[in-house]
C-alpha cells in the first residue's frame, strides 16, 4: 500500500546487524507515523588512476573497525570531465570514516570523496527527499514496538520519493519553566522547578506544585516537582505533539529539566520512539533532542536566521523579540525575576501574578512559533536539511547543503570539507578587502533619493561566472579578460555551479514575488510564497560569504576577492555617473547610493540616470530606485537615520540598542533622532539634551532611569577586568546570592571616591540622592547623542552649557 508522509525528523539505529533508517512524520490523513527503511547502505567514492587494481584491493578489504562489503562503479563529473569512480559500501555508517583513512593509503588512490556526509543526510540526498515536504512510499503497516508513541509503524517496501503537496497540520506546543531562586539565579543542584506552563491550539495550562484556593482556572496542581515532570510528559503524549517550542531552551530549560529529573531519579521520556532526551554537541552549546518530536528553540532562529530583521532591538530576550514581532496585547508580561521565590512563598495576589507571568511566557512563545515555524519549514525543505538541524545551523551550512543537492542533481562530485590544518592555512591568508563605503556629508539633508543594487554580490557572481571551478581556469588563461587590480579571470567556456544555482534562486524568487503581488497579504497562499521567497533570499545573500569561508567545500579566496573588487568598481561607477545627471552623492554604502539634487525634480533625474546605468551593467546586474526620504541625518559611515513621507523611519548604526547604556540615555538619543527627522529642527534636538541634563542635575530622575543590566557571559573568576557589573556581581556573591554564567546584573553608579567600578552598587542598595549625576551626563547622555549633535554643529561644551564645560558644579 502507498503512504504519503511528511518528513518531520530522521535518524538511524543499528538493528539486526545493520543500519536502519527511521523517518518520523505525519501522514496526509493526519496520523503520526514512523517509516522504517532497512534497505540502506553507507558508501563513499574512490578516485583512482588504476581503477581495476584499486577495485581488486577494495573487494573484501577489512581493517580494525570496518569492512568493505561490495564495490561498484559510478560516473561523476570531476574537474570538468566525466570520470569513473569506485563506490565502496560499508556495513555500518560509523565505519565510513575509518575506511576512508585506510583507502587513502592504497596504491593508485588519488582521493576519497563524500565520506564526510552524515548518514541521514546521505539518505535524504540519495532519495531526493525534502524535510518538511511530502514523500510517497510503498510500505506495510507492522506491529507497534513497546514505548513507541505514535499511530502507525510502517516498513518500507521500496524507496521513498518526494512528491509535491501541502504538509498536514502539525501539532505545536510551547513550554516554559519557572524555578525557585531564593539566592538569585536558579541552581539546578538546589532549586526545584515550581511550575511549568504549556500552550497549544487546544490548551493553555500552568502545572504547579501548588494551587491555592481562588487560583486561575488554567492552573493545575501537580502536588510536587516529580508530578510536574510526569504531567508534562502526559500532555505531550495526549496532544501527540510534533513540535515542542521554547525560547533559549537548549541553554536553560532542558538542561535544568534534565538535572532536576536526575535529582528525582525520574527518566524524562518525551520522544516518539522511547529513550530519554539527548544532548548533541553544537560547538559552543548542546542541543536537546527528542527523537520523533522536534525541539524548536526559537532563540536560535532569532539569532541566526532573523538577525538581519531584528533592527533596533534592545536585546534578544523573549520580551524584546515579542515587542518586535507581536501585537501589543500579545506581549510578555513583566515581573522582576529576582522576586520569584518571594511571590511563590507569599501566595495570594503575588502568586496569581506569578501564574499569569508563567502562562504569558508559554502563550507568547506559542505565538512566535506560529509566526516563525512556517518560514523555518520552507528553509528546511529548500536546503534539504532536517528541521532540527536547520534551526541551529549557520548561513554557510545552509548554502553548503543547497549546493550539495544541486551538485548531485547535476552529476557532480561533492568536494570534501577541509581538514583543520587546511582551514588554518585559509584563515592565515587574512581578510578579503570589503566593499567601498563613501564617507557621508555629515549633517541634515532633505529630499534624499536612495538607490540599491538588486542582489549586488549574487548578481556579480552570476554575471561574471565566479565559482571555485571557473576562477583562474587553465582553459582560459591568457584569453579571458582580467579583473582590474587583481589579475584574476573567469572561465568563458563553462558555467560554474555557484552561478547556475544563484541564477535559479533569483529567478524563482522573482517569480514568487510577482505571484505575491496578485494575492491578498493575509491569505495562506501569500504567506506560503512569502516564506519561500524569504528562504531563497537568505541563500542568495549568504552565497558570497561561503565562497571565501574557510570551512567551505567550494572554497575560492580569489573568487571572494574578485566579487568584492567588482562591487567596489561598480559602486565608483554609479557615483561618478550620477554626477553627470545633476545628482550629488551624499553617501554610498556597499550596494546603496544616497543622492540629492540642488534644483529639484529629483525623481525625474533618478529615472534618467537609472535608464542609463542599467543599460551599461552586465548580465543580471540592476540598480533599483528604492524611494525618496524627506529628511535624514548622516553622522559617519554606516551611521544614519532617515524618514519618508509616510513617517516610516530607517535607522542604521545609531546606538540606542547598546546594552551598557541606561534607559535615560537610550530614551534621550531616540527623542533627539525623532525630533530631527520629524521636525528638521536642530535647536529642538539641542533643547531635548539640555532638558535631560537639567533633570539629572535637579535629581528629577528615578533609579529605573539610570540602572544598567548586563548579563554575565562566563564565570566570575574568568573576568580579568573588573567592570561595574563584575564588581556588583562579586558583591552579590559575597552576600550569598547565586551568581553564575547567564546571571543578569543590574547596577547604578553612585557618588563618592574611587573608580567607576568601585562606585557601582546593586539597585536595591542605592539611595536616589546618591546617584552620580556627573557620570550619567558625561558618560551616558553625552556619548549617546554626541555623534548626532556634532553632525549638526553642536560640541560637548554646547551640550553641557557654554559657561560650564564640566559638571563640577554638580
Mention every residue, 6+ apart, whose C-beta is less than 8 A from residue 557: 426, 429, 432, 548
Once rounded to an integer, what is the mean pLDDT over residues 769-797?
94
Residue 313 has pLDDT above 70, yes or no: no
Q: Is residue 522 domain-resident?
A: no
Residue 809: its pLDDT value, please?
Answer: 46
Question: What does DSSP say about strands 161-163 and 437-438: parallel, antiparallel, or unpaired?
Answer: unpaired
Q: Is residue 512 domain-resident?
A: no
Within this chain, do residues 580 and 726 fall inside the same structural domain, yes or no?
no
Burial class of residue 456 in the structure, from the number of CB atoms within 10 Å of its CB (0-12 exposed, 13-18 middle, 19+ buried): buried
Residue 172: its pLDDT value, please?
Answer: 98
Burial class of residue 729 in the structure, from the number of CB atoms within 10 Å of its CB (0-12 exposed, 13-18 middle, 19+ buried): buried
Within this chain, do residues 114 and 70 fall inside the same structural domain, yes or no?
yes
Q: What is the CA radius of gyration of the chain?
A: 30
Residue 314: its pLDDT value, please?
Answer: 55
Q: Is residue 156 domain-resident?
A: yes
Within this chain, do residues 24 and 50 fall inside the same structural domain, yes or no?
yes
Within this chain, do residues 23 and 105 fall inside the same structural domain, yes or no?
yes
Residue 244 is part of a domain; what is its CATH number?
A: 3.30.420.10
User: Could you tell me the pLDDT band of residue 598, with boundaries at 50, 70 and 90?
Assistant: confident
Q: Is residue 49 domain-resident?
A: yes
The predicted-structure confidence for 223-253, as pLDDT tens digits, reads as follows 999 999 999 999 999 999 999 999 999 999 9
Give the C-alpha separation, 643 to 633, whole Å: 9
Q: What Cα–Cα distance (Å) separates residue 767 from each residue in 204, 749, 762? A: 42, 11, 11
Domain boundary among 332, 367, 383: 383
Kindly state the cell numbers that stand for 279: 544532548
User: Could you tell me the pLDDT band of residue 185, with boundaries at 50, 70 and 90?
Assistant: confident
Question: Which is more confidently placed, 549 or 283?
Answer: 549
Within this chain, do residues 177 and 156 fall inside the same structural domain, yes or no?
no
Within this chain, do residues 469 and 596 fall inside the same structural domain, yes or no?
yes
Poorest-pLDDT segment among 273-287, 403-417, 439-453? 273-287
Task: Quote the pTM value.
Answer: 0.90
User: Could you tell me the pLDDT band of residue 655, with boundaries at 50, 70 and 90?
Assistant: low
Answer for the pair 152, 33: CB distance below 8 angstroms, yes or no.
yes
Residue with cell 564617507: 439
> Among residues of the chain, what percentage have pLDDT more than 70?
97
Average pLDDT of the chain? 93
Domain boundary among 325, 359, 383: 383
Q: Which long-range contacts (CB under 8 A, 24 or more apart) does 734-740 make?
A: 736/183, 737/183, 737/184, 737/185, 738/181, 738/183, 738/184, 738/185, 738/186, 738/187, 739/184, 739/185, 739/712, 740/185, 740/187, 740/712, 740/715
Within this chain, do residues 176 and 305 fall inside the same structural domain, yes or no?
yes
Domain boundary among 138, 163, 188: 163
Residue 806 has pLDDT above 80, yes or no: no
Residue 191 has pLDDT above 50, yes or no: yes
Q: Is residue 220 domain-resident?
A: yes
Within this chain, do residues 639 and 682 fall inside the same structural domain, yes or no?
no
The predicted-structure confidence for 62-91, as pLDDT tens digits, reads as follows 888 899 999 999 999 998 899 999 999 999
Residue 801: its pLDDT value, please?
Answer: 84
Residue 808: its pLDDT value, please?
Answer: 45
CB atoms inside a 10 Å sphere around CB 618: 12
CB atoms inside a 10 Å sphere around CB 359: 22
User: Could you tell me the pLDDT band of residue 802, with boundaries at 50, 70 and 90?
Assistant: low
The predicted-structure confidence for 361-406, as pLDDT tens digits, reads as follows 999 999 999 999 999 999 999 999 999 999 999 899 999 999 999 9
The SS3 assignment for 227 reads helix
Residue 803: its pLDDT value, please?
Answer: 46
Q: For the sheet containing 43-48, what is the strand order? A: 62-63, 66-78, 81-90, 43-48, 109-113
Residue 589 is part of a domain; what is its CATH number?
A: 3.90.1600.10
The predicted-structure confidence for 464-513, as pLDDT tens digits, reads as follows 999 999 999 999 998 898 998 789 999 999 999 999 999 999 999 999 99
Once rounded to an integer, what is the mean pLDDT over residues 615-629?
96
> Among residues of the chain, what percentage have pLDDT more than 90?
81
Q: What Cα–Cα distance (Å) separates residue 513 from each residue in 287, 383, 390, 506, 509? A: 35, 20, 24, 11, 6
Phi, psi of 580 (to 5 degrees): -65, -20
Residue 25 has pLDDT above 70, yes or no: yes
Domain span at residue 351 reads: 172-383
Within this chain, do residues 236 and 319 fall inside the same structural domain, yes or no?
yes
The predicted-structure confidence for 553-563, as pLDDT tens digits, reads as follows 999 999 999 99
Q: Is residue 318 domain-resident?
A: yes
Within this chain, do residues 291 and 421 fall inside the same structural domain, yes or no?
no
CB atoms inside a 10 Å sphere around CB 59: 13
The predicted-structure confidence for 277-310, as pLDDT tens digits, reads as follows 999 887 778 899 999 999 999 999 888 877 766 5
Domain count across the chain: 4
Residue 657 has pLDDT above 60, yes or no: no
Q: Is residue 785 domain-resident?
A: yes
CA end-to-end span of the chain: 85
Within this chain, do residues 421 and 477 fall inside the same structural domain, yes or no?
yes
Residue 21 is part of a domain; what is its CATH number?
A: 3.30.342.10
Residue with cell 566570575: 716
Once rounded to an integer, what is the mean pLDDT over residues 323-331?
76
Within this chain, do residues 177 and 122 fall inside the same structural domain, yes or no?
no
The predicted-structure confidence for 338-351, as pLDDT tens digits, reads as follows 788 889 998 999 99
Residue 330: its pLDDT value, please?
Answer: 64
Once rounded to an integer, what is the mean pLDDT over residues 6-23?
97
Residue 730 is part of a domain; what is its CATH number?
A: 1.10.132.60
Mention every residue, 6+ apart, whose C-beta is less than 8 A from residue 247: 176, 297, 298, 299, 318, 321, 361, 365, 368
Residue 304: its pLDDT value, please?
Answer: 83
Nearest to 703 by CA among 633, 618, 764: 764
Q: Is residue 808 domain-resident?
A: no
Amino acid at each position: 500500500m502507498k503512504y504519503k508522509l511528511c518528513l518531520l525528523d530522521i535518524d538511524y539505529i543499528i538493528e539486526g546487524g545493520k543500519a536502519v533508517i527511521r523517518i518520523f512524520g505525519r501522514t496526509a490523513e493526519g496520523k503520526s507515523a514512523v517509516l522504517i527503511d532497512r534497505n540502506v547502505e553507507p558508501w563513499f567514492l574512490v578516485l583512482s588512476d588504476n581503477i581495476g587494481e584499486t577495485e581488486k584491493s577494495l573487494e573484501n578489504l577489512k581493517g580494525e573497525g570496518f569492512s568493505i562489503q561490495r564495490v561498484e562503479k559510478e560516473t561523476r563529473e570531476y574537474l570538468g570531465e566525466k570520470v569513473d569512480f569506485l563506490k565502496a559500501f560499508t556495513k555500518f555508517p560509523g565505519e565510513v570514516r575509518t575506511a576512508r583513512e585506510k583507502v587513502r593509503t592504497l596504491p593508485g588512490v588519488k582521493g576519497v570523496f563524500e565520506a564526510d556526509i552524515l548518514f541521514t543526510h546521505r539518505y535524504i540526498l540519495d532519495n531526493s527527499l525534502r524535510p518538511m515536504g511530502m514523500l510517497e512510499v510503498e510500505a506495510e503497516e507492522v506491529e507497534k514496538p513497546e514505548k513507541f508513541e505514535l499511530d502507525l509503524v510502517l516498513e518500507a517496501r521500496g524507496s521513498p520519493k518526494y512528491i509535491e503537496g501541502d504538509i498536514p497540520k502539525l501539532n505545536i506546543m510551547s513550554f516554559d519553566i519557572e524555578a525557585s531562586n531564593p539566592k538569585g539565579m536558579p541552581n539546578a543542584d538546589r532549586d526545584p522547578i515550581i511550575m511549568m506552563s504549556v500552550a497549544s491550539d487546544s490548551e493553555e495550562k500552568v502545572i504547579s506544585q501548588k494551587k491555592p484556593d481562588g487560583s486561575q482556572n488554567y492552573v493545575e496542581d501537580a502536588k510536587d516537582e516529580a508530578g510536574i515532570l510526569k504531567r508534562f510528559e502526559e500532555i505531550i503524549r495526549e496532544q501527540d505533539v510534533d513540535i515542542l517550542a521554547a525560547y533559549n531552551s537548549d541553554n536553560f530549560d532542558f538542561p535544568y529539566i534534565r538535572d532536576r529529573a536526575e535529582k528525582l531519579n525520574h527518566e524524562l521520556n518525551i520522544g516518539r520512539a522511547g529513550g530519554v532526551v539527548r544532548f548533541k554537541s553544537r560547538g559552543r552549546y548542546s542541543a536537546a533532542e527528542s527523537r520523533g518530536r522536534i525541539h524548536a528553540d526559537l532563540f536560535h532562529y532569532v539569532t541566526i536566521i532573523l538577525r538581519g530583521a531584528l533592527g533596533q532591538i534592545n536585546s534578544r530576550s523573549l520580551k524584546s523579540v515579542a515587542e518586535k514581532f507581536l501585537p501589543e496585547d500579545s506581549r510578555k508580561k513583566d515581573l522582576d525575576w529576582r522576586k520569584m521565590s518571594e511571590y511563590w512563598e507569599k501566595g495570594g495576589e503575588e502568586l496569581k501574578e506569578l501564574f499569569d507571568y508563567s502562562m504569558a511566557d508559554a502563550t507568547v512563545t506559542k505565538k512566535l512559533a506560529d509566526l516563525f515555524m512556517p518560514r523555518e519549514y520552507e528553509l528546511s525543505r529548500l536546503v534539504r536539511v532536517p528541521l532540527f538541524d536547520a534551526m541551529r545551523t549557520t548561513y554557510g551550512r545552509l548554502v553548503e547543503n543547497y549546493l550539495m543537492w544541486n551538485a548531485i542533481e547535476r552529476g557532480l562530485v561533492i568536494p570534501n570539507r577541509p581538514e583543520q590544518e587546511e582551514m588554518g592555512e585559509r584563515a592565515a591568508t587574512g581578510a578579503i578587502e570589503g566593499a567601498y563605503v563613501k564617507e557621508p556629508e555629515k549633517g541634515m539633508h532633505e529630499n534624499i533619493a536612495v538607490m540599491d543594487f538588486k542582489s549586488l554580490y549574487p548578481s556579480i557572481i552570476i554575471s561574471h561566472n565566479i565559482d571555485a571551478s571557473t576562477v583562474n581556469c587553465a582553459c582560459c588563461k591568457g584569453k579571458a579578460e582580467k579583473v582590474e587590480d587583481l589579475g584574476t579571470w573567469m572561465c568563458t567556456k563553462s558555467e560554474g555551479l555557484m552561478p547556475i544555482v544563484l541564477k535559479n534562486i533569483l529567478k524563482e524568487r522573482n517569480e514568487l514575488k510577482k505571484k505575491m503581488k496578485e494575492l491578498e497579504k493575509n491569505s495562506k497562499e501569500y504567506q506560503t510564497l512569502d516564506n519561500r521567497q524569504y528562504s531563497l533570499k537568505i541563500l542568495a545573500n549568504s552565497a558570497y560569504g561561503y565562497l571565501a569561508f574557510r570551512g567551505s567545500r567550494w572554497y575560492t579566496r580569489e573568487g571572494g576577492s574578485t566579487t568584492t573588487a567588482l562591487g567596489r568598481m561598480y559602486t565608483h561607477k554609479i557615483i561618478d555617473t550620477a554626477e553627470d545627471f545633476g545628482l550629488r552623492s551624499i553617501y554610498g554604502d556597499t550596494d546603496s547610493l544616497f543622492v540629492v539634487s540642488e534644483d529639484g525634480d529629483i525623481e525625474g533625474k533618478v529615472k534618467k540616470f537609472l535608464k542609463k546605468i542599467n543599460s551599461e551593467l552586465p548580465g543580471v546586474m540592476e540598480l533599483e530606485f528604492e524611494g525618496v526620504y524627506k529628511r535624514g541625518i548622516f553622522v559617519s559611515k554606516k551611521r544614519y537615520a532617515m524618514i519618508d513621507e509616510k513617517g516610516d523611519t530607517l535607522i542604521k548604526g545609531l546606538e540606542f540598542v547598546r546594552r551598557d547604556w541606561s534607559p535615560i540615555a537610550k530614551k534621550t538619543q531616540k527623542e533627539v533622532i525623532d525630533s530631527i527627522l520629524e521636525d528638521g529642527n536642530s535647536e529642538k534636538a539641542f533643547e531635548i539634551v539640555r532638558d535631560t541634563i537639567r533633570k539629572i542635575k535637579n535629581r528629577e530622575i528615578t533609579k529605573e532611569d539610570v540602572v544598567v543590566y548586563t548579563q554575565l557571559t562566563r564565570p566570575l573568576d574568568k573576568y580579568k577586568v573588573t567592570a561595574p557589573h563584575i564588581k556588583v556581581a562579586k558583591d552579590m556573591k559575597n552576600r550569598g546570592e547565586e551568581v553564575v554564567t547567564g546571571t543578569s546584573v543590574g547596577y547604578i553608579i553612585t557618588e563618592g571616591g574611587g573608580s567607576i567600578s568601585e562606585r557601582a552598587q546593586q539597585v536595591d542598595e542605592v539611595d536616589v540622592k546618591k546617584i552620580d549625576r556627573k557620570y550619567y551626563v558625561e558618560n551616558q547622555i553625552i556619548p549617546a547623542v554626541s555623534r548626532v549633535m556634532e553632525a549638526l554643529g553642536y560640541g560637548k561644551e554646547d551640550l553641557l552649557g557654554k559657561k560650564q564645560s564640566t559638571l563640577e558644579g554638580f
